[in-house]
Amino acid sequence: MMEEQELAEQCLRGDNRARQQLYERYAAHLYGICLRYVSDRDTAQDLLHDGFLHIFRSMNKFQWRGPGSLGAWMDRVMVNQLLQYLRKEQPVERVEYLEQLPDVEDEADCTLAEAVPPEVVMELVRQLPTGYRSVFNLYVVEGKSHREIASLLGIREKSSASQLARAKSVLAQGIRRWMEENGTK
């Protein structure tokens, strides 16, 4: 197994064995990222493939910054590819502003969510509507601000905030439902 820096250098030179090794090392992780943004597994697989093609074509833009930098760079490239796909194929739904949203129950207590298996939570996230899922992932997982999300998705900041609120509400309802169905409440 090549080290990360050497792997990147060999991929930049067009070494197909290095590319295969890069794919094998990172595909599962990047597929997980795809599934966070796109609920359909076949589409996620197609986007993973397209993302790797873009990664291989863009290796000249990668700058080594120490261990983990290749994976972090690939994560950013993949998220950008996913956002480009979503903007083109599945425009983020415009939703009401926060002031116009009906009152919803408080979000699930974090301790409740901890009682739910991670794969159940991920499935609940995958079931969110595209806009909710995109904003939730960008805000919660990627750590983006509403201003950054608005810029990335071509929406207003208030729309980003309202979609996040809705996403959290839908997730909280799903967690409660799962807990009731599984007798963990």
pTM for this predicted structure = 0.75
- Residues 154, 109 share a domain: yes
Last residue of a domain, one of 89, 124, 141: 89
pLDDT in tens, 14-26: 999 999 999 999 9
Q: Is the pLDDT of residue 99 over 50?
A: no
CATH of the domain at 170: 1.10.10.10
Query: Can you give the CATH number for the domain in which 39 is found?
Result: 1.10.1740.10
Residues of the chain with pLDDT > 90: what percent? 58
Per the structure, the count of domains in the chain is 2
The reported pLDDT for the residue numbered 106 is 45
Which alpha helices (DSSP H) does the chain contain, by range? Answer: 4-12, 16-37, 41-57, 69-89, 110-114, 118-126, 130-136, 146-153, 157-181
Mean pLDDT of 27-54: 94
Look at 58-67, 108-117, 153-162 and tell me which has the smallest mean pLDDT.
Answer: 108-117
**Does 58 lie in the same domain as 114?**
no
Average pLDDT over all residues of the chain: 86
Tell me: do 77 and 124 sit in the same domain.
Answer: no
Which pLDDT score is estimated for 110? 56
**pLDDT at site 86:** 85
Distances (CA, A) of 115 to 142, 176, 177: 23, 11, 13
Position 103 scores a pLDDT of 42
Tokens 């919803």 sit at which residue? 104
Domain that holds residue 128: 98-181
Do 83 and 157 lie in a common domain?
A: no
| Same domain as 103, residue 85 | no
Residue 59 pLDDT level (bands cut at 50, 70, 90): very high
% residues pLDDT > 70 (the chain): 86
Are both 64 and 106 inside the same structural domain? no
pLDDT at 111 over 80: no
Tokens of 61: 């833009």
